[in-house]
Chains A and B, each alone.
Chain A
């Protein structure tokens, strides 16, 4: 689903964000991406969503070589990826329904179809019946779920989450992760960037660790965690 081959990223100005990164997230796999802030997590996610492009190496998303995708085609690639952000990126002056419906409206679905799918997505994240609310009226956990509903409403092949539990207490964090597990069970590939190591330790998924722009050996289930990573 995601394949990085010797990918490096140097920002203009000489800041080296990623160096020689190799990894492969298989179709239908769920994995964590960890590392200190500044280790290159954000850069890696930006390369996947084509907000930035690699300075060297190859990035494949869902079989597409990113280098071959022109600026004009980037939106179509992003429609195959559901993205979830720490700060939700919700439109605060629109209703929950409008927020979740946005990807469908962009895709051009009819109103009836949009209604059906939004209702289904909100049901999945446990917000059924809150369509008419404004995000501002919801709690932090609920806002995050609205973001998740928006990410999955278009049934993307890949879910990317950037610190999805950053502002939530452990119980809510666990709920959100369980939610990701259900999508993963349904066949969606999931990559979650987080520095919440306690959370990762409780789940049995592959962990990709970045340190100073380099990918450490992918840690398999059951391996002990070293402090400070």
Chain B
């Protein structure tokens, strides 16, 4: 329609319009920081709430990440113990060992004969005295098998175990991996929990920002009416509010990152002690720089989205009268 074309035409040349578009964006973005700075207490409170809300899912993410590295390092430790039938002679056992060494799934094989097994048990269990009263050695000979990397996962190691159990002279085998399976199941559960909690907290962040922006809109009601009367488009009026939401998100995200680093720093000593007990010397990982960027980007998106929802709903309702 001709009339519409006439109406939308700005009084500026097109190049000027494009330049001014960016200048306005920068100005309005900066102005919205100024607006936050004018009420530092309430702005900081909102940002702190956002920071705490975001830090929880991010902290759980750190936890999952660290748990993953730990279980990965432990799954390499999968070891199969094969208990030899009672009364087999040395020769038979040696031929078994060399047969197992031929398996492509096997990385290492160690043979511990009855005497060695007893000596080890005496040394480790602390029952040395008691054992010396026994007339015969009750311990069976053991062949320990360490699978290759490919077969050290719980499933792979299990397959190898059932195969080894079919060997002659093997009474039964034992795969000490159940706890690992449980741990992995636990971590899967943890991951899901993290996801669910993260989703809820993300929702909370959107609602908090939406509500904060709603209050900001209500506070500036008369200003918005005046702007509408002198011909401001909705895009122009809503822009400062969207920028405010983005700033809330960015600063909230950075606060969350700081909180997590403090948390990791606080927990690091305790975790190192715990891992030390498991003969593991893993450093607790914090959020990397990329993850910081992701966190801040996500937070600023949530800020924009929360304020967009609010602006959509409340800005329209304000009409000059």
Contacts and interface: CB of A to CB of B under 8 A. Distances in A.
A89 interface: yes
A51 B320 contact: yes
B226 A102 contact: yes
| A interface: dominant SS | mixed
Interface in B1-33: 1, 3-4, 6-8, 10-12, 16-17, 20-21, 23-24
B226 A89 contact: yes
B7 A78 contact: no
Contact of A79 (B20, B24, B223, B231): B231
Contacts of A75: 228, 231-234
B227 A63 contact: no
Contacts of A154: 230
Contact of B3 (A51, A63, A72): A63
A109 B12 contact: yes
B104 interface: no
B222 to A, nearest CB: 8
Interface in A75-133: 75-79, 83, 89-91, 102-103, 105-110
A229 to B, nearest CB: 26
Given A69-B3, A69-B7, A107-B11, A102 B24 contact: no
B321 A51 contact: yes
Contact of A64 (B3, B10, B228): B3
Report the contact-size class of chain B (Cβ under 8 Å from the partner).
Answer: 20 to 34
| B interface: dominant SS | helix
Residue of B7, B16, B21, B223 with most chain A CB atoms under a 10 A cut-off: B7
Nearest to A42: B321
Contacts of B191: none
Contacts of A110: 16, 20, 23
B183 interface: no
B319 interface: yes
Nearest to A77: B7
A68 B4 contact: yes
Interface string A41-71: 0000000010100000000000111001110
Contacts of A51: 319-321
A68 B230 contact: no
Contact of B227 (A68, A73, A106): A106
Contact of A108 (B20, B227, B229, B230): B20
Contacts of B228: 75, 78
Contacts of B24: 105, 108
A141 to B, nearest CB: 20
B225 interface: yes
A64 B319 contact: no
A150 B16 contact: no
B265 interface: no
Given A64-B6, A89-B229, A154-B230, 14 more contacts: A49-B229, A49-B320, A51-B320, A64-B3, A68-B3, A75-B231, A75-B234, A76-B8, A77-B231, A91-B222, A91-B226, A102-B227, A107-B231, A110-B20
18 contacts: A69-B3, A69-B4, A73-B7, A75-B234, A76-B7, A77-B7, A78-B230, A79-B230, A79-B231, A102-B226, A102-B227, A106-B230, A107-B10, A107-B12, A107-B231, A108-B10, A108-B20, A110-B20
